[in-house]
Structure 1
Amino acid sequence: KRLRLAIANKDFTFKAGQWVDFFIPGVSVVGGFSMCSSPGLLEREGILELAVKYTAHPPAHWIHTECTLDSEVALRVGGDFFFDPQPGDSPVKLVLIAGGVGINPLFSILLHVADLHGYREGKGNAYKMGTVKLYYSAKNTKELLFKKNILGLMNAFPGKITCRFHVTQQSSQICEELQPYVTEGRISEKDLEKHVSKDTLWYICGPPPMIESISKLLYNVGVPRNCVFFEKWW
């Protein structure tokens, strides 16, 4: 479920890639969800978005079964997994690697990159953004969240934002629109090593075994540890 929250506190901010602690009145368990919208949307419209998978975990269950249009919740931002370049910083390229619902914070970063590109075109003096490549792996194309939005970003910023979807258990026909961007099978060393360069930052989010294997793979091909950032989802 995609949740749009109107933020009442004008001083509330977050960085692309961060998560929120989600406090629900009457629910003792605190939820932890990554933002899937950009800091720019909050700035422009006072809106923040979360995508929450249905589970028995009380906060997620509440969102799917009890949350209504006028529900009020409290939020607290956290997390040191983010991309927040400043105008004077030297340009970097990004490789974003997502597994399953790990796409949420990376989609936020992708939207932030689009904002940076758009802002630069409008103002000319903002942060100069390098290219971004997203590798996104799921069981099948049905489980690829935000796929239409991601295709839209690729069309809006050709050559600047590119994406490769990987599916590991696809049984049905892949639709024509997605076909050119889909690879059957896991993300491999061969896919990643071509992006290795001294000005590339790597962001990985997904199940812990995936993070372990991808980060190990990156260290093996010579990526410095301080260029690899990850967020583990259990």
Structure 2
Amino acid sequence: MMAHATIYVGCTVPLLLKGAQSRLFPSHSPLGVLRHSAFCYCTGNGTIKSKRKMDHLERTANNFRQEVITQAKVCGITNESETVKRLRLAITNKDFTFKAGQWVDFFIPGVSVVGGFSICSSPGLLEREGILELAVKHTVHPPAHWIHTECTLDSEVALRVGADLHGYQEGKGNRHKLGTAKLYYSAKNTNELLFKKNILGLMKAFPGKITCCFHVTQQHSQICKELQPHITEGRISEKELEKHVSSDTSWYICGPPPMIESISKLLTNIGVPRNCVFFEKWW
């Protein structure tokens, strides 16, 4: 499948960064081949149904997982925002690998609940430096709470990779033409726009191929000059998205359930086919 354009709509940006940081859309792009359980289509009326709250392992029980479980040591902790910490993890097992679009099962000694976190660094960083990075938002969920309140440098955890988006197509020689990617990224304020410098860097590195519109809904301070041309105040609107509707555009939504629910309904209203809309279902 070759997409002329790809639209990302969300409150987080893992797929764009992971694909682009490995030199933007490798020959077997995760944007083209979506494993059956890794992403979910919109339902017929644009709504998203969820049953009782399940833990990470229950929700992803049918997803592919590598057999390799590796020990890892925390070698860096950075506050990306007031609510998000970035962890740098030194990987001890040289056989541990991952591809853009995957998450990790996150095992913490003494914590019975297993976490599930998207990887926000590129496979290239792991190959070069043996480092993997996660960006984790603060919640009361035990693994996230541990990362924000108890995790320290040299804390030891274990990781296992899940959700291979390349799936069975890998190795079949399919090539994917580089299309264009438009990111609509919404947050409360510019401090919560994680990886904004990375995104601006990608826009400069791939002019015309990657563009981004940042939205802020509760900005009270002055916006820096570098960001000003790319900032829109208020929520992502129907008017903005409808100009991208075409038969060869794929839409990827990432964010909390109410946001995914709202945007999926909006896309249905403007005529986007259901099979062109994808989102990660983490609840």
**TM-score normalised by L of structure 1:** 0.75
Secondary structure at the aligned position of 1:52 is classed as strand
Quote the offset at 1:83 in angstroms. 7.3
| Equivalent-residue separation in structure 2 for 1:219 and 1:83 (angstroms) | 27
1:184 is the counterpart of 2:233: yes
- The aligned length equals 197
Q: In 2 relative to 1, CA 43–203 (structure 1 residues): closer, same or farther, beyond 3 Å?
A: farther
User: Which of 97, 103, 122 lines up with 1:38 in the alignment?
Assistant: 122
SS in 1 for 2:280: strand
Considering Cα pairs closer than 8 Å and 6+ residues apart, tell me whether 1 or 2 has the greater RCO: 2
More strand by share: 2
Which residue of 1 is the match for residue 111 of structure 2? 27
After superposition, give the CA deviation of every residue in 1:152-178 in whole Å (9 maximum; x if it has no partner). 111111111111001111122211111
Per the TM alignment, residue 90 of structure 1 is displaced from its structure 2 partner at its CA by: 5.6
Distance 1:189 1:131, change over 3 A: same
Let me know the Cα RMSD of the aligned residues.
Answer: 2.4
Alignment partner, residue 257 of structure 2? 208
Quick one: which amino acid aligns to residue 147 of structure 2? I
1:130 aligned to 2:165? Answer: no
Measured against aligned partners, the alpha-carbon deviations of 1:48-93 in whole angstroms (never above 9, x if no partner) come to 110112333322232233323322211122347x5789695464xx
Cα distance between partner residues in 1 of 2:97 and 2:236: 33
2:197 is equivalent to residue 148 of structure 1: yes
1:190-217 deviation line (CA, Å, top 9, x unaligned): 2112222233221111111111121122
Deviations 1:89-142 (A, max 9, x none): 464xxxxxxxxxxxxxxxxxxxxxxxxxxxxxxxxxxxx321111110011111
Which residue identity does 1:165 align to in structure 2?
F
Say if 1:193 and 1:221, in contact at 8 Å, map to a contact too: yes
* TM-score, normalised by the number of residues in structure 2: 0.63
Gaps of 5+ in 1: 92-127
How far apart, CA to CA, are the structure 1 residues paired with 2:269 and 2:163? 27
Unaligned stretches of 5+ residues in structure 2: 1-84
Letter in 2 for 1:211: I
The whole-number CA distance in structure 1 between the counterparts of 2:166 and 2:207 is: 21
8 Å contact from structure 1 (residues 196, 223) kept in 2:
yes
